[in-house]
Chains A and B, each alone.
Chain A
């Protein structure tokens, strides 16, 4: 499904961007994903001078030493190991029609996670990995899986595992202005204050990152999407990124969006673009 034209393009964008600190704006004429990405990294460089940019794939543990120790102990026996194995088994179990997941994806589904989500021009929408897992099932006469947890997160975990350490490679293609609009929509969502608490995602994860909010310390915005799905101790199981989005959206005392809504997919698109230059490191574990 996803055509692998990305890498070269990505490299070209990178070198083009370094030359000048281009400005970015807030509408379709002026928004500039690459300038946004650089500005965000610069922001965190200044904010937490001791943290290496590569380390932001580890979320809060990149910037908070005490919780990092706990997490490193947790990662000695990664709680998601069983889910990767189970995910591999599910991935390789043929559908009733004899076909399998490998038939639906580029490169048999191996080592492709870092290209997601991507803009699909034919369908005019952002496609996430989970979405294509379910489409693969439905196209082969199987029932779709529930979005937030369970088998979909295991299959996604296995696919992420096969892409470990591959550089995240999100494109906003220039030949379709709707792609940039989806990016802008995600950006706008992240910065918009909402809910009874009048809080934006950025209030907690940018201005508020590594500052105690009630009992919790929100991690940095940079790197938030590199390591999904996640085995979260609080859940006691794996969950998808959109499960987490829903919980955080609710934390502003809003009625949250549902997983795989257009809003959440655009949000994932924007956030994942910000992580270009980091590596894919899913599945992950978090408190």
Chain B
């Protein structure tokens, strides 16, 4: 997401103290994710966390038909949720279709990763919706 890139750019241009002390878990996560990508760990307020998205953690299971089907189903459900809020992203349905196609061909690892991506899109859309309810007025020039 754009926000992430901007955040990373910002972080790089700021002093080390700011980088070391994001004031929410979310900021800390996004900062570390942007700087190190997935598969890393970081410490925030004395505890260790992964830079993986929850969906990526969900996808890190045995690559088999049942697990792929379960994650695809849960991605679909999340996407139905965001669609109801009218914040569905453009590519999500296609990604789910690709996940289903991969699963049908027995490519379960690929299917899991795609389903995780789709579910992530859906979750971000839902976050965007909630953010907008409270903050849309900030973009109206006064």
- Inter-subunit contact B140/A254 (CB<8 Å): no
Interface mask (B100-142 → A, CB under 8 Å = 1, otherwise 0): 0000000000000000000001001100100110001101111
Q: Would you call A43 and B141 a contact (CB within 8 A)? A: yes
B128 contacts across to A, CB distance below 8 A: 193-194, 198
User: Which B residues are CB-close (under 8 A) to A255?
Assistant: 83, 88-90, 92-93
Given known contacts A196-B90, A250-B90, A255-B83, is B136 in contact with A206 (CB within 8 Å)?
no
Contact of A198 among B2, B83, B140 (CB under 8 A): B2
Q: Tell me if B88 and A196 are in contact (CB < 8 A).
A: no
User: In the assembly, what is the distance between CA of A77 and CA of B3, in Å?
Assistant: 45
- Among A196, A197, A200, contact of B139 (Cβ-Cβ < 8 Å): A200
* Complex Cα–Cα for A26 and B137 (A): 6
Cα A43 to Cα B139 with chains together (Å): 13
Among B3, B88, B137, B141, contact of A254 (Cβ-Cβ < 8 Å): B88
Q: Are B86 and A263 in contact (CB under 8 A)?
A: yes
What's the nearest-Cβ distance from chain B to residue A184, in Å? 11
Is the beta-carbon distance between A253 and B136 smaller than 8 angstroms?
no
A203: Cβ under 8 A from any B Cβ = yes
| Pair B88/A197 contact, Cβ less than 8 Å | no
Could you tell me if B87 and A206 are in contact, using CB atoms closer than 8 angstroms? no
> Does B1 belong to the interface (CB within 8 Å)?
yes
**A196-B121 in contact (CB<8A):** yes
Q: Does B91 contact A (CB under 8 A)?
A: yes
Interface size class on chain B is: 20 to 34
Bound-state CA distance A194–B135 (Å) is 12
With contacts A197-B2, A255-B83 known, is A192 near B90, CB below 8 A? no
**Contacts A253-B89, A254-B87, A257-B86: A191 and B137 contacting too (C-beta < 8 A)?**
yes
Interface centre among A25, A197, A198, A200 (most CB of B within 10 A): A198
Measured in the bound complex, the distance between the Cα atoms of B141 and A43 in whole Å is 8
B140, A26: Cβ atoms closer than 8 Å: yes
Inter-chain contacts of A194 with B (CB < 8 A): 87, 125, 128, 132
Those of A184-207 within 8 Å (CB) of chain B: 187-188, 191-200, 202-203, 206-207
* A206 and B141 in contact, given A188-B136, A198-B3 (Cβ under 8 angstroms): yes
Which residues from B are CB-within-8-Å of A250?
A: 90
A64 to B2, CA, bound (A): 28
How long is the Cα–Cα vector from A274 to B125 in the complex, in angstroms?
29
Q: Which residue of B lies closest to A200 (CB)?
A: B139
Q: Is the CB of B141 within 8 A of A196?
A: no
A195 to B91, CA, bound (A): 10
Please tell me if the beta carbons of B132 and A192 are within 8 angstroms of each other in the complex: yes
Report the separation of the CA atoms of residues A202 and B121 in the bound assembly, to the nearest whole angstrom: 23
Query: B87 touching A196 by the CB < 8 A rule?
Result: no
In the assembled complex, the Cα of A187 lies from the Cα of B141 at a distance in Å of 13
What string of 1s and 0s marks CB contacts (under 8 Å) between B58-101 and chain A? 00000000000000000000000001001111111100000000
Residues of B within 8 A of A202 (CB): 139-140
* Residue in B closest to A196 when the chains form the complex, CB atoms: B89
Which of B1-60 touch A at CB < 8 Å? 1-3
Which residue of chain A has the shortest Cβ distance to B93 in the bound complex? A255
Closest B residue, CB atoms, query A24: B140
A interface residues (Cβ-Cβ under 8 A, vs B): 25-26, 39, 43, 187-188, 191-200, 202-203, 206-207, 250, 253-257, 263
Can you name 9 extra interface pairs (CB under 8 A) apart from A194-B87, A256-B90? A25-B137, A39-B141, A188-B136, A191-B140, A192-B136, A199-B2, A206-B141, A254-B90, A255-B92
**B binding-site residues for A, Cβ under 8 Å:** 1-3, 83, 86-93, 121, 124-125, 128, 131-132, 136-137, 139-142
